[in-house]
Chains A and B, each alone.
Chain A
Amino acid sequence: MSPHIILRVVSKLLIPMIVIFGFYVQFHGDFGPGGGFQAGVIIAVAVILYALIFGIDEAKKAVPPKVVLWGSAAGVLLYAAVGLATLVMPFAGEAVNFLDYDALHPDQSHHAGQHYGILLVELGVLITVISVMLAIFYAFAGRVPDIPDEEW
């Protein structure tokens, strides 16, 4: 791995910034372009960049395949749990609807329930998208031999 010192140094500098940008996209999604899908892909790309430069085994140490497996289900379950919560929360009006976030918070005049609901379902989307992208990458990269040095 020693010949790629420039790649390794530059990617070590870039990876934290990519992840922070991903979280910015995630939590700024209410105000500008972006959201769970895009942020998830960006954060997954940071891990994939790490895997390309430092090897797939190092990446699996940082983000174990088990976490990826559980994560891809956990995001979907979080989304569904928000939907179920809207059915049982006490602040709903007359109409009780699946994924009607107004039921999540009593402050109807500022629609705080909507904000909480969007935040939570976007978090579910984020967790699933990161995990699924990494799962697909791990599944494919595990079958491919490491990139030979002469092809860099």
Chain B
Amino acid sequence: MSGADLTQFLDYTLIAMLLAVGFAIVRLRNLFAVVMLTGVYSLLSAAWFVSLDAVDVAFTEAAVGAGISTVLMLGAMLLTAREAEAPGRGRHLAAMLVVTVAGMALFFAIPDMPVYGAADSPANDYVGHSYLERTPNEIEIPNVVTAVLASYRGYDTFGEVVVIFTAALGVILLLGFNTGGARRREDEE
């Protein structure tokens, strides 16, 4: 990362915007604005992931974080009040203490982190290189992420799909959507 690399300033800008949105979320008491700002936060993180060349992660963050979660949070918000009450002063101090300790621990850990983009970082070191080398010969598709996800790690992805299916199963068993909503509305009328 030499001084000529201008994209790092884009990263700084995006992180500063993330911080600003984070502070706004903490300060605001209007839940509608908070839900919208969490969507903005996800979209900014997605932009930042693009800048870090993690386009697949960025795509997922934009679709799930900024899309579906915002809608589900809006649905949850309609069930509750529009304004949140301000927490008491004692809880402020306790939260400040936790944040300070955790923040100091994170800063303490920074020197141990691998340099950004290092080829020998633990994330790349073990099977990463081998996937990159073998995908053109063994799978012959350009996107290595898809090759790892669907082929090399097909078994894990199968597990993920089962997890998603189980999530829906749990929600349907708890809430039910075939008749429950209609019956509830009739009760109210």
Does A69 lie within 8 Å of B172, measured CB to CB?
A: yes
- Nearest A residue (CB) for B162: A76
B161 touches A79 (CB 8 A): yes
Does B165 contact A117, Cβ atoms closer than 8 Å? no
Residues on A with beta carbons closer than 8 Å to the beta carbon of B147: 118
CA distance A25 to B174 in the complex (A): 32
Q: Which of B9-17, B35-43, B111-119, B137-145 contacts A (4 or more CB under 8 A)?
A: B137-145
Most buried by A among B154, B155, B162, B175: B154
Give CA–CA (A151, B30) in the complex, Å.
Answer: 13
A30 contacts which of B63, B143, B171, B176 (Cβ < 8 Å)? B143
* Contact with A142, one of B149, B162, B182 (Cβ below 8 angstroms): B182
Determine whether the beta carbon of B72 is less than 8 Å from that of A137.
Answer: yes
Cα-based distance from A121 to B55 in the complex (angstroms): 21
Query: Judging by beta carbons under 8 Å apart, are B181 and A122 in contact?
Result: no
Number of A-B residue pairs at CB separation under 8 A: 157
A65–B56 CA distance with the chains assembled, in angstroms? 30
Please report which residues of chain A, range 23-73, place their CB below 8 angstroms from some CB of chain B when the two chains form the complex. Answer: 25, 29-35, 37-38, 41-42, 44-45, 48, 52, 56, 65-66, 69, 72-73
Q: With A and B bound together, what is the CA distance between A79 and B146 in angstroms?
A: 15
Contact call B140/A31, Cβ cutoff below 8 A: no
Known A-B contacts A30-B146, A132-B167; A144 and B161 likewise in contact (beta carbons under 8 Å): no
Report Cα–Cα, A137/B171, bound state, in Å. 10
Within 8 A of A (CB), among B57-87: 58-60, 63-64, 67-68, 71-72, 75-76, 78-79
Give which listed residue, A125, A139, A144, contacts B172 with CB less than 8 A.
A139
A52 to chain B, nearest CB (A): 8
Q: How far is the CA of A151 from the CA of B181 in the complex (A)?
A: 22
Flag A71-95 by CB within 8 Å of B: 1 or 0 each. 0110110011001000000000000
The answer to the question of A145 belonging to the interface, with a C-beta cut-off of 8 Å to chain B, is yes
Q: Does A103 contact B (CB under 8 A)?
A: no
**CB nearest to A28 among chain B residues:** B143
Binding site secondary structure of chain B: helix
A111 at the interface (CB under 8 A from B): yes
Nearest-neighbour CB distance to chain B for A110, whole angstroms, equals 7
Judging by beta carbons under 8 Å apart, are B158 and A83 in contact?
yes
The residue from B71, B145, B176, B184 contacting A33, defined by CB atoms under 8 A apart: B145
A115 surroundings in chain B (CB, below 8 A): 140-141
- B residues contacting A by CB (< 8 A) are 32, 55-56, 58-60, 63-64, 67-68, 71-72, 75-76, 78-79, 138-143, 145-147, 149-151, 154-155, 157-158, 161-162, 164-165, 167-169, 171-172, 174-178, 180-182, 184
9 contacts between A and B (CB under 8 A): A35-B145, A41-B60, A45-B67, A101-B154, A118-B146, A125-B161, A136-B167, A140-B72, A140-B75
Q: A32-B55, A41-B68, A72-B165 are in contact. List 11 more A-B contacts (CB 8 A).
A: A33-B59, A38-B63, A45-B67, A69-B172, A101-B154, A118-B141, A118-B146, A137-B71, A137-B75, A143-B184, A144-B78
Give the top 3 A-B pairs by smallest Cβ distance, nearest first: A142-B181, A132-B168, A99-B154
